[in-house]
Amino acid sequence: MTPSEGALRRWLAAVAVAGLAIALYLTVERAAGRAPACPIGGGCETVQSSRYAEIAGVPVAWLGLVAYAALLVAALLPGLPGRALGLFVATVGVGFSAWLTYAEVSLIHALCAWCLASAALMTIALVVTALRAGAPEPAPSLSS
């Protein structure tokens, strides 16, 4: 049984809020010139100070803020617009996260727990948005 549209929207909102928290934390630490605390290993500073932490001068954490904010908007939008926006953002986000994870492993040789958590959240968002895209549209409510 596929979860309801409402349940999937709530799941997506929860994932988006968690992702926003991670991206905001990394953005604040970078703006303050501090290395993020690394709960596992110690590669967070290495990853965050690498050349892969920016694209065209834009910090990757800022892109995360935009992506997770867009997922939150998608969760708030009912019907096809929310489904399409969520699926698009999550698909692009998973692709970008996969590339960044590849860069961590193969090019930087360090892992950032925050980045891996964000990649996991984006993957969950893709699963949720794919389920939502395939779920039947809720019946329109009749108002008097």
Q: What is the CATH number of the domain that holds 92?
A: 1.20.1440.130
The pLDDT value recorded for residue 139 is 63
In a domain, 76, yes or no: yes
pLDDT over 70 for what percent of the chain?
Answer: 94
In a domain, 92, yes or no: yes
The pLDDT value recorded for residue 69 is 98
In a domain, 43, yes or no: yes
pLDDT over 90 for what percent of the chain?
Answer: 72
Tell me the C-alpha to C-alpha distance, in Å, between residue 91 and each of 21, 36, 125, 141. 20, 27, 9, 31
SS3 sequence, 30-48? HHCCCCCCCCCCCCHHHHH
Domain that holds residue 106: 5-134
In a domain, 140, yes or no: no
In a domain, 54, yes or no: yes
Considering only CA atoms, which of 1, 2, 130 is closest in space to residue 74?
A: 130
Q: Would you say residue 19 has pLDDT above 80?
A: yes
Count other Cβ atoms within 10 Å, centred on residue 14: 16
Count other Cβ atoms within 10 Å, centred on residue 20: 18
Distance CA 61, CA 91 (A): 18
The pLDDT value recorded for residue 143 is 58
The pLDDT value recorded for residue 33 is 87
In a domain, 144, yes or no: no
**Confidence category of residue 43, pLDDT binned at 50, 70, 90:** confident
Mean pLDDT for 36-41 is 84
Distance CA 32, CA 30 (A): 5
Domain count, the chain: 1
In a domain, 129, yes or no: yes
Which residues lie across from 54 on neighbouring strands?
59
Q: Would you say residue 1 has pLDDT above 90?
A: no
In a domain, 141, yes or no: no
The pLDDT value recorded for residue 21 is 97
**Confidence category of residue 9, pLDDT binned at 50, 70, 90:** very high
